[in-house]
Structure 1
Amino acid sequence: MNLMAQGKTRASSEEWRHVLPTNLGLFYGGEWHSPAAGRTLPVLNPANGDVLAHVALADREHVDRAVAAANSAFPAWAALSPLKRSEYVRGIAKRVREAGDELAMLDALDSGNPLKGMLLDIQMGSTIMEYFAGLSTEIKGSTIPMPGGVLNYVLREPLGVVARLVAFNHPLLFAIAKIAAPLIAGNTVVLKPSEHTPLSALRLAELVQDLLPPGVLNILNGDRAAGEALATHPGVASIAVVGSIATGRAVMRAGAETLKRVTLELGGKNALIGYPDADPAKVAAGCVKGMNFDWTAGQSCGSTSRVLVHESIYSEVIEAVSDLVGKIRLGQPTAIETEMGCLSSQAQFEKVTGYIEGAKRDGVQLVAGGGRGRGDLERGYFVEPTVFADVAPDHRIAREEIFGPVLSILKWSDEAALFEAVNSVPYGLTASVWTNDLSTAHRAAARIQAGYIWINGSSSHFLGAPFGGYKQSGLGREESIEELHEFTQLKNVNVTLSP
């Protein structure tokens, strides 16, 4: 089904049932398994509260079996030529592209993100897989000059079993993008999707179960207990997380006993800075794009949710942002014309609305939004795109990650105080700087404590450019050859040659 071509407007219960995965169990060792004692979890449609499915929950015994299957498959997978592993990964990408429309609809149903954004996720995720497949022959070592008769060389080798824990905001994009580098590097993988959005990962397992050797890719639905079991498991060599700072801390603590390799892509309270020479209309457009309202309802770690605008253009930017946000079409996630969907769960809804109501009580100026969905949206976790102005740098909505469609705008006049405010939070993932002066742009980029910075841009990612954070926004880099290297280890070999 070509949803874009058909102008699909929404999915009825009859229409969405055929995109659900047939298997709702646990996938490891190339086979499907039932949960112990019938442990299942209802998966809800956040747009209306309907139950989409009941999926199996993995317990520690299933984690043990999945890790054992991955370890059993590891030697043969690591021994394959890089080009052969590349062929397998390209095969996954091909099958995902072929099933792209149904996978996008499944994610729209499961996560509350708009269908148009989930179609983009399919394309992005498949492209990332193909990118890493193309890097398969770049897992290179080196030689070190030695005195006569001695050869010294360095090898890059895979780690073993990699556990990947991914978040709810981009279910399939994360599922496919985050397994690519470990697989290409020669590792086997145990993937745990979010318990809120597991359906597309299960469908992925169905699509590739006959493609990959058994045990190379294993997918376990699970709650926090399953994540802890993977993080503490002695058979897991590396654990990589996309999630909150709290989740990252918990995983690091759990993995400390076995000194696991840990990579973390965590949260952000990202700043967008508007200088006095910038075009107010362009700054406003950058604010709205940077918030990812129309992609994940602001549920994005890279969203520029904290805007600091110079006083000379402040009023113009506020007016333009308010106008742009007011035009965003809030609607059913499965409607192709919807520009912004809903939050992914009741917990997210209560968290976001709590921040909004708290800011209102504190007298922060509400410029746009602030309410919930109306009409046929009242049953779901819909929150209007919301903008607050004249926010104090020390207010909660200016310092804490809300992870929802709430934009805080601050005014600045002194550049030294600006950078103090920008760098005062424990996060450091992304930042956006708007100026027409090259010296100003480079000076700002140098002073901002963040790992990924746009100049006169926002939100976009570029394959090959390392994505990752400073401070508590994470460890390691992704979307580049650096991510591939995260899943390798170095071995030095020193050879004394016979005379």
Structure 2
Amino acid sequence: MRTHEIPDGILPRQRGLYYGGAWHEPLAGMYAETINPSYNEPIASAPVADTGDVDAAVQAAHKAFPGWASTLPAARGRFLREAAAVLRKHAMPLAQLDALNNGNPVSALANDAVFAADCLEYFAGLATEIKGETIPMGDGNLNYTLQEPLGVIARIVAYNHPLMFAAARLAAPLAAGNTVVVKAPDQAPLSILRLAELIGDVFPPGVVAFLCGGSECGEAMGKHPLVRKITLIGGVPTGKAVMRSASDGLKPVLLELGGKNALIAYPDADIERLVDGIIGGMNFTWSGQSCGSTSRVFLHESIHDQVLKKVVDLLPRRHKPGIPTDPATTMGSLVSRAQLEKVERYVGVGQEEGGRLVCGGKRPADPSLKDGFFYEATVFADMQPHMRLAREEVFGPVMSVFKWENENTLFEQVNGVDFGLTGSVWTKDLNTAHRAARRLNTGYVWINNSSQHFMGAPFGGVKQSGIGREECFAELLEFTYTKNVNLKFG
């Protein structure tokens, strides 16, 4: 789908910043072209918010906060359910827009708006469950706690699922009584503008705001004195920058960052399911652009050769790069030229360090893909833990395969990286499964599964993979503080 072939009604009509219940031109009049990564063609311009725009949006959200915080929790839940219904109605056009702007396949993106709607409905149901407790203090005293909303929340979302992250991450802070300012990813902002068109006026003016911009916008959100908490879905360098910007104001942060996640296969694993899990866990559908991808695969020596051969045989047939807006495509493009060049550098480093390239490792030969940022699904074997490709997050379609024999040595290698987001264990033995899950230094573990999220199950990492948990009741409490009240009788 070239730019001139975009169906009517897909692109957002507005090209401004949304806050205070209205659309505004950026104060400095700055706009930036956003591109279709499949063809490296411009799609449309998006506004660029600077410090002044951030201040205006935050001030509007701060003004709206007391009214929203005093809205009955059940009523806040009704607003969230109304927004969810709008998302379900527009799920496919939103998927088409994200496919156009970030390069992921439309067939897979079709579920993003549905997941976001599920999230809004889940937290709508929890809005009345933000409860305190009573604490025994003896006769003459009543002591109890309240969970109070923080105020204005800043949420910075990633480019791999812009619509889903922006909509889903509204849910918990809004349910808890906060107002929210969302920053779109500068690589793929268009679906956030469309989201603002669709649900902005569902909520009272000022309760939600949607900004576009680069690092200046994000830094201003972190430093603004009226922002009470800042959150990010993104890479480790950006996470560190967010913490620095928040530090002067002693703001709490909630960070979902990168991963160098391990998939561990024991000798008794179901081979066919394992092969599916290895390919699915790497998220080749998104060209590997997923923080939860199991990019390190540890195969026991007794099954290593057999499994590796099956993966290499099946992978190019299952995930062949194609135009993302084509419903038949199962693997899209990388989001930008910079990301493509980063992947190419890592593939070069992997070969220089002695990794054995067994699949992919180049741009596709298909002439229809020549202008876009496509890269083949790539697998390296004979990997060693000291290699950069074995330690650093690529955020691209590159998987590293290791052979293991001793379980103690295995976990030294698996846990010997700076990340700790997800892990996947494959075995038929329950004792082995639970033992391995305990030994993995990660926030999330799949057993005989990979890549799937479950609403209500806490998702988040340890070490440099992040701070805090989302998609669960704990996320709701992330946006409250505990107030203690003591009443003395008589």
> Given residue 322 of structure 2, which amino acid in structure 1 is its aligned partner?
G
- 3-state SS of 1:446 partner: helix
- Structure 2 match to 1:395: 387
- Residue 429 (str. 1) matches residue 421 (str. 2): yes
Structure 2 residue aligned with 1:302: 292
Matches within 5 A, 1:260-275: 260-275=251-266
Match of 2:409 in 1: 417
The more displaced of 165-174 and 203-212 is 203-212
What corresponds to 1:222 in structure 2?
213
- Residue of structure 2 in register with 1:461 after alignment: 453
* Structure 1 residues 108-132: Cα deviation after superposition (integer angstroms, max 9, x where no partner): 0000000011101111111111111
Query: Which residue in the other structure is 1:5 paired with?
Result: none
Q: Secondary structure at the match of 1:135?
A: helix
- 1: CA distance, partners of 2:123 / 2:104: 26
Q: Per the alignment, in what secondary structure is the counterpart of residue 77 of structure 2?
A: helix
C-alpha displacement at 1:209, in angstroms? 2.9
Residue of structure 1 in register with 2:489 after alignment: 497
- Where do 1:86-165 residues align within 5 Å? 86-165=77-156
CA distance in 2, matches of 1:15, 1:326: 29
How much does 1:290 deviate? 0.4
State whether residues 422 and 442 of structure 2, in contact with CA within 8 Å, keep that contact through their aligned partners in structure 1. Answer: yes
CA distance in 2, matches of 1:34, 1:132: 32
**Distance (whole Å) between structure 2 residues aligned to residue 212 and residue 163 of structure 1:** 17
Give the letter for the 2:459 counterpart. F
Question: For residue 347 of structure 1, what is the aligned residue in structure 2?
Answer: 338
Which of 70, 85, 90 does residue 79 from structure 1 map onto? 70
Tell me the CA shift for residue 36 of structure 1: 2.7
1:378 is aligned to 2:370 = yes
Q: Is the partner of 1:37 in helix, strand or coil?
A: coil
In the aligned structure 1, how far is the partner of 2:334 from the partner of 2:340? 6
Aligned to 1:408: 400
| Dislocated runs of 4+, deviation >6 Å | none
Matched, 1:441 2:433: yes
Instruction: Classify the secondary structure of the residue corresponding to 1:258.
Output: coil
For the aligned residues, what is the CA RMSD? 1.1
Distance 1:76 1:394 in 2: 55
Give the structure-1-normalised TM-score: 0.96
Q: Which moved more, 1:109-118 or 1:274-283?
A: 274-283
The code of the aligned residue for 1:146 comes to M
Q: CA deviation at 1:388?
A: 0.8
For residues 37 and 462 of structure 1, the distance between their equivalents in structure 2, rounded to whole angstroms, comes to: 42
Which SS does the other structure have where 2:158 is aligned? coil
Deviations 1:425-458 (A, max 9, x none): 0000000001111111111111110000011110
Residue among 156, 159, 177 paired with 2:168: 177
Contact 1:284 1:321 in 2 (8 A): yes
Question: Does the 8 Å contact 2:152/2:229 carry over to 1?
Answer: yes
Provide the aligned length of Structure 1 versus Structure 2. 488
Query: Are 1:471 and 2:466 matched, yes or no?
Result: no
Structure 2 contact 179–207 (Cα < 8 Å) conserved? yes
Distance 1:384 1:97 in 2: 33
Q: Give the C-alpha shift of residue 325 in structure 1.
A: 0.7
- One-letter code of the match for 2:133? S
Which residue pairs with 1:3 in the alignment?
Answer: none
Kindly indicate whether the alpha-carbon contact (under 8 Å) linking 2:320 and 2:376 is maintained by their aligned counterparts in 1: no
> Hey, what does 1:7 align to over in structure 2?
none
Residue 65 (structure 1) aligned to one of 26, 37, 56 = 56
Q: Is the 8 A contact 1:155 1:491 kept in 2?
A: yes
Cα displacement string for residues 288-346 of structure 1 (whole angstroms, at most 9, x for unaligned residues): 0101112x111000000000111000001101111221212321000001000000011
Q: Distance in 1 between matches of 2:202 and 2:185?
A: 24
Q: 1:18: how far off?
A: 3.2
**TM-score between the two structures when normalised by the length of structure 2:** 0.98
Aligned-residue offset at 1:17? 5.4
Provide closer, same or farther for how the CA distance between residues 101 and 443 of structure 1 changes in structure 2, counting only shifts above 3 A: same
Query: Is contact 1:165-1:193 (8 Å) kept?
Result: yes
Q: Are 2:91 and 2:111, in contact at CA under 8 Å, matched by a contact in 1?
A: no
Counterpart residue identity of residue 89, structure 1: L
In structure 1, C-alpha distance between the alignment counterparts of 2:8 and 2:252, rounded to whole Å = 40
Counterpart of 1:47 in structure 2 is 38
Tell me which of 6, 10, 21 is aligned to 1:15. Answer: 6
* Seq. identity, %: 53
Decide which of 133, 158, 176 is 1:167's aligned counterpart. Answer: 158
- Distance across 1 between alignment mates of 2:429 and 2:117: 37
What displacement does 1:281 show?
2.4
Partner of residue 277, structure 2: 286
Secondary structure of 2:137 counterpart: coil
Does residue 323 of the first structure (1) align with residue 319 of the second (2)?
A: no
2:19 equivalent in structure 1: 28
- Aligned equivalents of 2:489, 2:98: Cα separation in 1: 58
> Do 2:166 and 2:182's aligned partners in 1 also have CA atoms closer than 8 Å?
yes
- Partner-residue secondary structure (3-state), 2:112: helix
Question: How far off is 1:12 after superposition?
Answer: 6.0
C-alpha distance in 1, partners of 2:98/2:372? 16
Amino acid at match of 1:406: V
Asked whether the equivalents of residues 63 and 230 of structure 1 are also in contact (C-alpha less than 8 Å), the reply is: yes
